[in-house]
A = this chain, B = another copy of it.
Amino acid sequence: MSAAATRRPDTSRARSWWGWGYADAHPDDAECAAMGALLPGSLNRPLPIPRIADLSIAEPAVTPPSSLVHLVTADPQVRAAHAMGKAYRDVIRALRGRPGRIPDLVAYPTGDREVADLLDWAGEHNVAVIPFGGGSSVVGGVEYRGDAHRAVLSLDLTSMNRVLEIDIASRSARIQAGALGPVMEGQLRPHGLTLRHFPQSFEFSTLGGWLATRAGGHYATVHTHIDDFVQSLRVITPAGAGTSWRLPASGAGPSPDRLFLGSEGALGIITAAWMRLQERPRHKASVSVAFSDFHRALGAVRVIAQSDLAPANCRLLDPGEALLSGASRNGSTILVLGFESATSPVDDRLASAVDLARSHGGRCQTHTVDRNAPADLAVSAWRSAFLRMPYLRDGLARMGAIVETFETAATWDKIPALVDDVRTEVSAAALKATGHPATVNCRLTHLYPDGAAPYFTVAAAGRPGDEIEIWDHIKAVADEVLHRHRATITHHHAVGRDHRPGYDLQRPKPFALALHAAKDALDPHRILNPGVLLD
């Protein structure tokens, strides 16, 4: 089948060039000020929203050939909106009028041939190519640093956003990499299918971005990463293109797809993928469970993760995180537990999981088993806070605050001490650096039989003008704690440029040698996303 074309990204609602998501969803000045008042040491009034017109944007250093010129724009508005991702560092740089290097050009290819032609041209002219999907990187994944290239091209794939084929029997679809979450799901819905990959950035990130960064998604257990839903990848590199066969599984050599999943645009451009889909769930049930002790709650989620109950949602919010999201106001640790199935009722599984939680001191809150019933209040509070959080971060950034997140994963034997040490040492570092007490909250976002993925949120008042240096210092302290516990530098945000020091320490030598060799072979002119994963 050939799905309806949606050739251009939806522009009906303006995206913020400097902050998260939609421009009209940002808190206004009064709301920013109200939030800032809760954080001692904040500014009295918000920093103004930055304007592209105030930036001095140089003329492009290169001109594309006539054969490609129709794909490329040098519009300063577009270029500025492609200069950076959406990390706290990026927001501050924009607020301070010093965004990352503005790309010389932005290209919108509409097909593989055009991507290959753009790579050929870039290779010949020493133009760095930064692949760009939704631009929601929070790790410096979509910007250019350094000066080793003559110019910088942001390769925006969002014009390649169609579901090209659907195979109902195998419940899979071939999807172009530039499809934003809702654009893709909108094309799958009429077929009764869904990818069910819903990262926090769902509206503002693309399939290709998820694949290139091994994004964590909807499911808290079992199939937690996009990797597991990949059937075949189409990859275009400067040294040639290829498509892996559509296979449900294979033992023929090392997985070809797994080398490109997580390659963050440094080895090639993923232009399409056959993805494994699912029927929409018909049975859902969710509940929240309160614990008076965070460490006992850790025991509860461990036994749930080691059972075969496979909850779709099993997120543990520490008291600070529960308070911030409105899931609890009394200092409880909250477990948000949800089950779903397209084939069979899930009430028994939910009940079994609740039993396990109770045996570790959990107290069950409202229990919802009907998908149409109003959800558990704590569950729904958490859900809406989850989606609103990045906007609030930007509002606090305008108040001069330092608000950022980082996430990791480790085996269960390390989790309790890891979480405690991050809280203690990062709070101390933030206090020392800012002179103001900081909050460091933690939630577990994904669970495994052998470990879990903690996600930390740091909030502290900054010092005007020094926010980035302070954050970089706090992050270095956090990285040191992660490294000491051998916890990964990232479970699902990717490495980008910001996590490079931690990544380099973590990567085993034989794989480092192989990855460098692969880079040399596939990207001989070193134009692909320079500085990401590799120097």
Contact = CB atoms under 8 A, between A and B. Distances in A.
B307 A451 contact: no
The 8 A-B pairs at the shortest CB distance, nearest first, are namely A248-B451, A242-B508, A256-B511, A248-B448, A514-B518, A517-B521, A258-B258, A517-B517
Interface residues on A, range: 35 or more
Contact of A258 (B255, B450, B488, B510): B255
A522 to B, nearest CB: 6
Contacts of A441: none
A251 interface: yes
B343 A252 contact: no
A197 interface: no
A117 B258 CA distance: 31
A409 B309 contact: no
B507 A169 contact: no
9 contacts: A170-B450, A225-B251, A245-B506, A247-B487, A252-B262, A267-B510, A308-B342, A308-B344, A517-B521
B509 A513 contact: no
A250 B409 contact: yes
Contact of A506 (B237, B252, B409, B518): B252
A215 B225 CA distance: 22
Contact of A513 (B239, B250, B307, B342): B239
Contacts of A503: 252-253
B240 A513 contact: yes
A120 interface: no
A514 B267 contact: yes
A316 interface: no
Contacts of A260: 254, 510-511
Contact of A249 (B172, B235, B446, B486): B446
Interface string A252-277: 11111011111110011000000010
A189 to B, nearest CB: 18
Nearest to A521: B517
Nearest to A446: B249
B490 A252 contact: yes
B248 A169 contact: no
Interface string A219-243: 0001011010001000101011111
Contacts of A172: 411, 450
Interface in A397-426: 409-413
A409 B247 contact: yes
A412 B169 contact: yes
A259 B511 contact: yes
